[in-house]
Every structure is written in C-alpha cells, then in structure tokens.
Amino acid sequence: MSPLVSIVVPAYNAAKRIESTLLSITAQDYRDIEIIVVDDASSDGTGDVAKNVLTRSGRVFRILKHDSNMGESAARNTGLQFVSGDYVVFFDADDMADPNFVSVLIEAITENDSDAAFCGYRNRFEDTGEERTVPIRLDPSRRHSAEELIVMHIFKRIRPSICTTIFKTSFLKTAGLEFTVGCHVGADTEFLTKALSRCGSINFSTGCHYIYVQHEDMVSRTMRQTPDKILRRYTYITEAVCRTARYLAKHAESPKVRGIAMNFMLADGFIRTLNVAAMRNDETEFYLTLYAPEARRALTASLRYIFQKPEVFLKASSLLIVPWTYFRIRSKSWSKS
C-alpha cells in the first residue's frame, strides 16, 4: 500500500477560489491522500463550499473550523495536529497544482527516505494567463547533502517554498516544529528554514509543479500600502529572520549552518532591527541595539560572508563606522516615503 499523504489547506474567506483549488487537489494522480481544510472563521461560506466539493470527490477529507479568526499560521498548526498521513503538504486556498504534483514529491522523498523534498513552482497571473517558472536549478543526477541544500536556501541560490515541500510527518512531530502564530508575514520561510535545518536528508525535483495564482483579490493588491503597513510588514519579516537565526544557531544539524546563523543570519536580523528603529525615528532604541555586545559581534562577523552576500557586510560596516549617518539617512528617507 502506498504511504498516505495529508494535504493541509488553511482557508479564510476563500469561497471565490477554493473550489478550483480543491478540484486541483482532488485531481491528483496519487490516490492515497487525505485533505484537511481548516476554515479560519470565514464569513463567506468557505467551509460549505469546501465540503460540497470534497463530498463529490470521493476523497478522504476533514473540515476543521476555528471559532475566531486566528491567522494562517494558527490554521496550519491546527491542520498539522490532525494529520494522519505518513507525509504532509501545505497548500494555499487560492492556488493550484499539476496533477502529478503529489506523486512527484512522494517519489522524491521516498527515494532516499528523506525527511523533506521539494520542487519548483510557477507564478500564474490570473488576468493574463501568463506563467513564470521558478525552477530548482540543480543537477538531479548529483547527490546533494542536506547541508548543501540548506546553505543554498539561506543564500537564496535555490528557492523552495512551504507549499512546494513535502515533509515526513514523524520528522515534524519529533522536531516539535510549528508555525509562529501572530506572524503575518515571513512565517512560511521561517518554518521552512527551521525544518530544513533539522533534516538528515533532503531530496528535490527540478520540475515546477505547484502554481501560485496571482490575482486581484490578494491582500497585497487590495490593501492600500500605507507607510505604517509597509513598516509593519517589514517588522514581521525582521522578527522572523531573528527568530530563525537564533533557532538555527541552537538546533541546526550542521555546524556549518549553525555558524552561518550566528555570523550571517543574525547580522542580517540586527541590520533589519536597526532599520526598523531608524524608520520609527527611535534613536534611543537604535543605539541600544547597536551597542549590545551580541549585535556588534554579529555585525563584525558578517565579513566572513562578504563574497556570498556583500550587501550585508557593507551595511554592517556602515553601522559600525558611521552609525549616526546611517540612522539619519534611513530615518529621513523613510519620513519622505
């Protein structure tokens, strides 16, 4: 019997598109799947639409419902609690996938009994039908270690995403990994990076089988991007970067990855934190952060990665040498935005 794959779909007011999404999932050529939709207190009948589609499909499914809107991270955590599959995939409620998406991933992850496996994806623009591929640019004939792949992910040489990755359920449960509730931007990358850093083995497919649908109802398009909202978004990402760096420094399987976390990722996190203080024109917080021993050590250590990410070292150098100039430039440029 084939291993069971659980597909977790967090959904909030997704009635307009969730039918297409679920039909894409039920059309998978891999038969042994269960579909778990977590209705995050939708007010537009999302749960009813999902139930109607899945009842007709003949697939195994569950509809879970939050009493109040808790956010995508909480919805994914809820779904993860109820999976019964050997493997789990996270799927967005407004996206689609090729019919062989799950079978490609299950073949990749079971090939070497890996803890995780990923593939590339396509961005599809709903208004024009145009598609842009984001492939995994690696040689599939060459064996890559988990350490190699997580390092390439950290430095953005490959771009797997949470929805293009399949995980061994027992691995996630043993590692105790969850999405950070309350983080509305950056939680996906945080979870993925933490998870990949714990893997003993990772595999991949170079195909682009997941489809991120870019449409007019996306929050990033419908909400007016005021300076306050842009700053809030940047702050969420900053906090996620700092949490990820500290987690990897403590828990990553590879000593090399732990070193990158301490001496590159944490430096990037401190630079972002200092940017936030400058954008808020909070000079006290800026200098308190800058002169903290941990920050100065991380900023100085970023020199080790000058050839991988020179922009991080250049910003770190500016902060250490001419902090007052850095603060004024950042705060003034932001005040004019």
Q: What is the pLDDT of residues 59-98, one digit of tens each?
A: 999 999 999 999 999 999 999 999 999 999 999 999 999 9
Q: Is 209 helix (H, G, I), strand (E, B) or coil?
A: strand
Q: Is the pLDDT of residue 311 over 60?
A: yes
- Say what the pLDDT of residue 72 is: 96
Q: Is the pLDDT of residue 181 over 50?
A: yes
Question: 118: alpha, beta or left, given left = phi > 0 and alpha = psi -120 to 50?
Answer: beta
SS3 9: strand
Q: Are 243 and 287 in contact (CB under 8 A)?
A: no
In which residue ranges of the chain is CATH 3.90.550.10 found? 5-222
Q: Which residue has the tokens 């509730």?
A: 181
Classified as helix, coil or strand, 308 is coil
Q: What is the pTM of this model?
A: 0.94
The arithmetic mean of pLDDT across residues 8-29, rounded, is 96
Which fold, 5-222?
Answer: Spore Coat Polysaccharide Biosynthesis Protein SpsA; Chain A (3.90.550)
Contact 302, 312 (CB under 8 A): yes
Tell me what pLDDT residue 221 has.
Answer: 47
